[in-house]
Amino acid sequence: MPQPPPAQPGQREEEIDTPALLIDLDAFEANLDRMAARVAATGARLRPHAKTHKSPVIAGLQMARGAVGQCVQKVAEAEVLAWGGIPDILVSNEVVGAAKLSRLAALAPIAEVALCVDHPAQVASIEAAARDAARRLTVLVEIDVGGGRCGVAPGEAAVELAAAIAASPHLRFGGLQAYNGRAQHLRTPGERQHAIAATVDDTRRTVALLRHKGLECAIVGGGGTGTFELEAASGVFNELQAGSYVFMDADYDRNLGEDGLPVARFHQSLFVLATILSQPCPGRAVVDAGLKAVATDSGLPLPWRHPEWRYTGASDEHGKIEFAAEAPAPKLGEKLRLVPGHCDPTVARHDWYVGVRGGRVECLWPVAARGAQA
Amino acid sequence: MPQPPPAQPGQREEEIDTPALLIDLDAFEANLDRMAARVAATGARLRPHAKTHKSPVIAGLQMARGAVGQCVQKVAEAEVLAWGGIPDILVSNEVVGAAKLSRLAALAPIAEVALCVDHPAQVASIEAAARDAARRLTVLVEIDVGGGRCGVAPGEAAVELAAAIAASPHLRFGGLQAYNGRAQHLRTPGERQHAIAATVDDTRRTVALLRHKGLECAIVGGGGTGTFELEAASGVFNELQAGSYVFMDADYDRNLGEDGLPVARFHQSLFVLATILSQPCPGRAVVDAGLKAVATDSGLPLPWRHPEWRYTGASDEHGKIEFAAEAPAPKLGEKLRLVPGHCDPTVARHDWYVGVRGGRVECLWPVAARGAQA
């Protein structure tokens, strides 16, 4: 049963029903502009990851600023974006199962669609789905460049897989998917540089081996919000896949720059607005946003601009706020913004974005691909 | 954008698209029957917590077995249940804000509705909402019996609040809400007995003080899946609010009984069905169910009936499965059931329940109150 939006345009922020997923539009637009400018300066292309925002509206704002397309992780996300008018979509992930592959092939008339493989059996399945749909699909080889999740080993294994793609009549070899997820949240610049140097070496070597076999990589994609400038500077990567930069989160804000301070290149633009629903005793209050409203996998949320209040525990529908007896106490009914620990799974808990500017609700956007897990 | 169901009735379990939220109907029905019988034997009433299942269908199955009503945590959950035909609903939580209170009052023509308070200001707000709606609402006093979250202190503070309710022309004093959430997952029977003994003492004392002032408690409610038999045996509690028993989860299965073995009174009936989408190297595979499909706040999910496989890490859309080199490896495309660490927030990530029996899909039920956070 779809839930009604928690606000109406024109309302004041204090009038928004809670819990609600807020976008601070000024901060958000500054992030979009900043990333577009930074990537343009490198000569690489930007293909932001829509697994963060799950929204054709936000994808469209990225495309209007020069992004060449979108990444997604799931076929159902690709559907929502394609149906929402996004013309170029890379599933930066493996897709297994004939039903999912036929759904993806069915998008080909309205969008450029590509996906990844890390096993020869996947190549055969995708070829069958493309043949049945009488379409040609673009397939990238995912290599494990330090993420330790999916992907074949860089080097010969990748070349074998690319050759199998190129030999399939309904497939086109599209290049390499080389994302190092583990490197994104390394805290110091030196750690991130060290990790991505190895990622770049592995990728460069694989690109050269492929070229030696006559297999050119139209896309060499990777990079996230934590490291995209390192991939861009390598001269090897030509597509950057950052996603979280549009919103940021408490965990990314723990990444430090050269000066030992947080890398504050992007602004916090995503919040969960919550209400104090109980103030049962001195030093404790309770908000109406718990595990079902905000992700806690990368740390608990932080009360925004209230460093004297600490969110110390989440249960299903409650968050506990604790504070020193001498600190100003939150008031019953007071609304406060929480900075999520991790933006992507927080967004996936909500049906609506509420865009605010200057203390007023400016827009409502559906989290259109919420629940698009298939 | 609502997602289509991942299955059709009659399909084999292996044909279900993933990730999917599965109910093993035999185990689930056995849980419903077992709880109904156990509570009936105590003389207390069962008012199960719908924050677990978020489904009027499942609520109806509980009511058909003798439950007197349902608990919820949110007004939006109360709406979904009332609209789905459930006639008696207790919001076992504080509700703050005029808009939410008027929505709750608007349900009074179709359902008995009650809610909780832990502050005099809430009593005044509820009285105003009930007066505006020309309805009479039932209000319980929540006392903190060890949960350390919401609730006034047991004793005099509760009596003052109850007197304020009773003095409000559009309110009816309904009793006490006395849930000790912290006690539910204490691992040994002795720890749970110790915690609930204090809960019972606090509650008994408060009930006696109220009675002394002429304030009778129609409802003395509390208890969860971990402790409900202790509250039932107290002679003080007359309503039990367990919810998780319908599904169970890996965390509840770590509660031990007198014999030091898991308290296996209820069966695991809830699963997330996942597919192996990558098998990149010996000892590692990756499933398509990560943070957006399964809750990890109370521990990572467990592969069902595959103790040789370990789910060792969740990212947004991926789960890493690791296993010894000599163990049988999962196959690419293979489907496996995961036992969630925590049932309630896992359910809240899905739009559909897929009911299976004997290896076949028997029914599809919407998670109707998914996203009902207001």
Residues of chain B with C-beta less than 8 angstroms from the C-beta of A152: 280
**Closest to B351 (Cβ–Cβ): which among A291, A342, A371?**
A371
Q: Does B155 touch chain A (CB under 8 A)?
A: no
Position A269, amino acid: S
Number of H helices, E strands in chain B: 9, 17
**Closest to A333 (Cβ–Cβ): which among B93, B97, B373?**
B97
Mean pLDDT, rounded, for A60-66: 98
Please list the alpha-helical segments (H only) found in B299-349. Answer: 343-347
Interface test with B, best of A179, A278, A344, A370 (most B CBs within 10 A): A278
**Closest to B76 (Cβ–Cβ): which among A3, A73, A315?**
A3
Residues of chain A with C-beta less than 8 angstroms from the C-beta of B351: 371
Q: Does A334 touch chain B (CB under 8 A)?
A: no
pLDDT tens, position by position, A88-140: 999 999 999 999 999 999 999 999 999 999 999 999 999 999 999 999 999 99
Please list the alpha-helical segments (H only) found in chain A. Answer: 25-42, 56-64, 75-83, 98-105, 120-133, 156-166, 189-212, 228-233, 343-347
The token duo for B94 is 């504080």
pLDDT tens, position by position, B78-94: 999 999 999 999 999 99
Is residue A1 predicted with pLDDT exceeding 80? Answer: no
pLDDT for B2: 77
**Nearest-angstrom CA–CA distance, B132 and B102:** 8
Is residue A32 classed as helix, strand or coil in its secondary structure? helix
Interface test with B, best of A3, A251, A272, A292 (most B CBs within 10 A): A292
Q: Tell which A residues from 254 to 273 touch B, by Cβ distance under 8 Å.
A: none
pLDDT for A258: 85
Eight-state DSSP code of residue B254: G
Question: With bands split at pLDDT 50, 70 and 90, how would you rate the model's confidence at A313?
Answer: very high
Q: How far is B120 from chain A (nearest CA, A)?
A: 11
Is residue B263 predicted with pLDDT exceeding 80? Answer: no
pLDDT tens, position by position, B327-344: 899 999 999 999 999 999
The token duo for A262 is 């947080």
Non-local CB neighbours of B178 within 8 Å, separated by 6+ positions: B142, B143, B145, B151, B154, B199, B202, B203, B206, B220, B221, B222, B237
Q: Tell which B residues from 167 to 206 touch A, by Cβ distance under 8 Å.
A: 181
Question: H-helix or E-strand containing B164?
Answer: helix B156-166
Start and end residues for every CATH 3.20.20.10 domain found in chain B? 43-248
Q: How far is B320 from chain A (nearest CA, A)?
A: 7
pLDDT for A259: 85
**Nearest-angstrom CA–CA distance, B189 and B204:** 22
CB-based contact A315 B181, cutoff 8 Å: yes
pLDDT for B264: 65
**Closest to B279 (Cβ–Cβ): which among A119, A286, A372?**
A119
Q: How far is B152 from chain A (nearest CA, A)?
A: 6
| CATH superfamily for domain B13-21+269-366 | D-serine dehydratase-like domain (2.40.37.20)
ipTM of the complex: 0.95
pLDDT tens, position by position, A322-338: 999 888 999 999 999 99
Q: Which residue has the tokens 């997820």?
A: A181
Contact A336, A307 (CB under 8 A): no
pLDDT tens, position by position, A276-293: 999 999 999 999 999 999
Mean pLDDT, rounded, for A220-225: 98
Non-local CB neighbours of A148 within 8 Å, separated by 6+ positions: A182, B284, B320
- Strand duo B239-240 + B352-357: pairing: unpaired
Eight-state DSSP code of residue B253: G
pLDDT tens, position by position, B220-232: 999 999 999 999 9
CB-based contact B3 A93, cutoff 8 Å: no
Start and end residues for every CATH 2.40.37.20 domain found in chain B? 13-21+269-366
pLDDT for A325: 85
pLDDT for A67: 98
Q: Tell which A residues from 350 to 369 touch B, by Cβ distance under 8 Å.
A: 350-351, 366, 368-369
Is residue A264 predicted with pLDDT exceeding 70? Answer: no
pLDDT for A286: 98
**Closest to B150 (Cβ–Cβ): which among A19, A280, A297?**
A280
Q: Tell which B residues from 51 to 70 touch A, by Cβ distance under 8 Å.
A: 51
Q: How far is B314 from chain A (nearest CA, A)?
A: 9
pLDDT for B48: 98
Q: Does B8 touch chain A (CB under 8 A)?
A: no
Is residue B261 predicted with pLDDT exceeding 90? Answer: no
| CATH superfamily for domain A43-248 | Alanine racemase (3.20.20.10)
The token duo for B98 is 């005029």
Is residue B354 predicted with pLDDT exceeding 80? Answer: yes
CB-based contact B151 A280, cutoff 8 Å: yes
Residues of chain A with C-beta less than 8 angstroms from the C-beta of B292: 344-345, 348, 373
Contact B120, A333 (CB under 8 A): no
Global pTM?
0.96
Question: With bands split at pLDDT 50, 70 and 90, how would you rate the model's confidence at A263?
Answer: confident
Q: How far is A371 from chain B (nearest CA, A)?
A: 7
CB-based contact A17 B100, cutoff 8 Å: yes
- High-pLDDT (> 90) share of chain B, %: 96
Residues of chain A with C-beta less than 8 angstroms from the C-beta of B150: 277-278, 280, 286, 318
Q: Does A231 touch chain B (CB under 8 A)?
A: no
Buried b / exposed e over B305-321, threshold 16 CB at 10 Å, is: ebeebbbebbbbbbbbb
Q: Which residue has the tokens 């408690």?
A: B217
Q: How far is B77 from chain A (nearest CA, A)?
A: 10
Residues of chain A with C-beta less than 8 angstroms from the C-beta of B288: 74, 96, 373
CB-based contact A349 B350, cutoff 8 Å: no
**Closest to A2 (Cβ–Cβ): which among B2, B151, B348?**
B2
Residue B215 has a CB neighbour count (10 Å cut-off) of 18
Is residue B296 predicted with pLDDT exceeding 70? Answer: yes
CATH class of A13-21+267-366: mainly beta
pLDDT tens, position by position, B135-164: 999 999 999 999 999 999 999 999 999 999
Q: Does B85 touch chain A (CB under 8 A)?
A: no
CA nearest A147: which of A120, A178, A192, A122?
A178
Size of interface A-B (CB pairs under 8 A): 190
Residues of chain B with C-beta less than 8 angstroms from the C-beta of A280: 118-119, 144, 149-153
**Closest to B94 (Cβ–Cβ): which among A277, A289, A350?**
A277
Q: Does A243 touch chain B (CB under 8 A)?
A: no
- Strand duo A309-314 + B45-46: pairing: unpaired
Residues of chain B with C-beta less than 8 angstroms from the C-beta of A118: 278, 280
pLDDT for B262: 79
Helix axes A56-64, A25-42, angle to 10 degrees: 50
Contact B135, B115 (CB under 8 A): no
- Strand duo B302-303 + A352-357: pairing: unpaired
Mean pLDDT, rounded, for A251-275: 90
Q: Does B371 touch chain A (CB under 8 A)?
A: yes
Start and end residues for every CATH 2.40.37.20 domain found in chain A? 13-21+267-366
Residues of chain A with C-beta less than 8 angstroms from the C-beta of B56: none
pLDDT tens, position by position, A89-99: 999 999 999 99
